[in-house]
Amino acid sequence: MDRVALRGLKARGHHGVFPREREEGQTFIVDLVLGLDTRPAAADDDLAKTVHYGIVAEEVVGVVEGEPVDLIETLAERIARTCLKHDGVQEVEVVVHKPDAPITVPFDDVTVTITRSRV
């Protein structure tokens, strides 16, 4: 299976279990790896035979900016479902970064990584 990756998609969302996270919001960063067969698109040089990653990026940002959830696990699941709606996408790896998570000790990042497929 071939891979198309989008890294560092940034959007502001209001996800989290604490009232301050819901009220103020914060930046979330999303990395995606889409699994698909790119041979038909490459053979015909035809965008319609692959995934339009610009559209996927816009849809993922819409999910992050959309309805708040408590957990980034839930957010990652919603993003994966959005990606799998595209016909050619057979599998997706989603990494949701929450670099401003409300943690009381020094840290660089918090991430949740999930892999989902049509199977």
Split at pLDDT 50, 70, 90, the class of 85 is very high
Q: Domains in the chain: how many in total?
A: 1
Radius of gyration of the chain from its Cα atoms, rounded to whole angstroms: 15
What's the CATH code of the domain at 17?
A: 3.30.1130.10
- Say which of 10, 49, 85, 98 is annotated catalytic: 98
- Torsion of Cα atoms, 11 then 12 then 18 then 20, to 10°: 160
pTM: 0.96
* Average of per-residue pLDDT values in the chain: 97
Report pLDDT digits (tens) over 26-53.
999 999 999 999 999 999 999 999 999 9
98 is catalytic: yes
Residue 119 has pLDDT above 90, yes or no: no
- Could you list the residue range(s) of the whole structural domain that residue 31 is in? 2-117
Report pLDDT digits (tens) over 101-116.
999 999 999 999 999 9
